[in-house]
Amino acid sequence: MMKVSRNWQIISYECIDSTNAEAVRKSADYFADGLIITAKEQSKGRGRMGRVWQSFVGNLFFSQLFKSNAPLWVLTYISSLSVCESIQELCRGLDVKIKWPNDVMVSGGKISGILIESGKNDTAVVGIGVNLQFSPDSKDILYPTTNLRDLGFDISQEDFLQCYLKIFDKYYDTFIAEGFANIRHQWISCSYKLNEEILVSQGNKKQKGIFKGIDENGCLLLKQEDNTLKISAGDVFA
């Protein structure tokens, strides 16, 4: 198999507004390939759909900046699968699942979120937050949350990042060599609420149905009585 894994270069900050914002800024005059921006603290952590990502010191925040030969929607699945597998590898025995499109859950609580953006010069920015030690205040968010320390695992930021990058490179190489089919299959096997009823919210529009995984273009498949909807963006509620 052709190997395209990168030699990731890591830049670490004590405090920054957002590692994604910094990665997007750096993409303007960026010529090497494979940069990781990490920070101990973020003052303006960004979440999906314009939301805030509460960034407690002790959790992990990083962004990957690279020229991607995979489209951004594929990176959604590669990165969430890699976070999921990292937790499985570092914390044996936990029930880890991925809630569409890319929230990683342990025992029904969100433990990691991913925000993918495009940078300048055809770069991709994959930003990942992992609750290693703290969970956000649940009064501020719409869903249950958890963190690895409360689940009995003391994992350092460095160990998690190294494990993640190893697994990310593996799945990225798989995509380049074979396309999306294998990633799709693996992602579906780790997905949260597969074949169960979910509610998909897209702004004010809410639709119920049975979650049937994702299609070959990464759309969520929602089976209703007489048809199956294909949904490309939104939030899933159980």
Residues at the site binding ligand BTN, with contacts judged by CB under 6 A: 18-20, 42, 45-48, 51, 53, 61-63, 103, 113-115, 127-129
**Residue (64 or 91) nearer to ligand BTN, CB:** 64
**Separation of alpha carbons 62 and 185, rounded Å:** 27
Least distance to ligand BTN, CB of residue 48, Å: 4
Nearer to ligand BTN, 70 or 131 (CB): 131
* Residue closer to ligand BTN, measured from CB, 18 or 191: 18
Give the β-pairing of 197-202 and 205-214.
antiparallel
Residues 6+ apart with CB under 8 A from 162: none
Rounded CA gap, 92 and 153, in Å?
A: 9
Cβ proximity to ligand BTN, 93 vs 112, nearer residue? 112
Strand partners for 27: none
Q: Which of 36, 214 has the CB closer to ligand BTN? A: 36
Shortest distance in whole angstroms from residue 23 CB to ligand BTN:
8
Cis omega before residue 101 (within 30°)? yes
**Both tokens of residue 132?**
């290693």
| In the complex, least distance from residue 7 CB atom to ligand BTN, rounded to whole angstroms | 21
Of 127, 114, 106, whose CA–CA distance to 24 is shortest?
127
Q: Toward ligand BTN, which CB reaches closer, 51 or 67?
A: 51
β-strands 9-16, 35-42: how paired?
Answer: parallel
DSSP state, 235? E
Q: Which residue is nearest to ligand BTN (CB)?
A: 113
Q: With respect to ligand BTN, which residue has the nearer C-beta, 48 or 67? A: 48
Sign of CA dihedral 45, 152, 144, 113: positive
d(CA 229, CA 44) in angstroms, rounded, equals: 35
Tokens in use for 206? 């809410």
Pull the structure tokens for residue 44: 């303006």
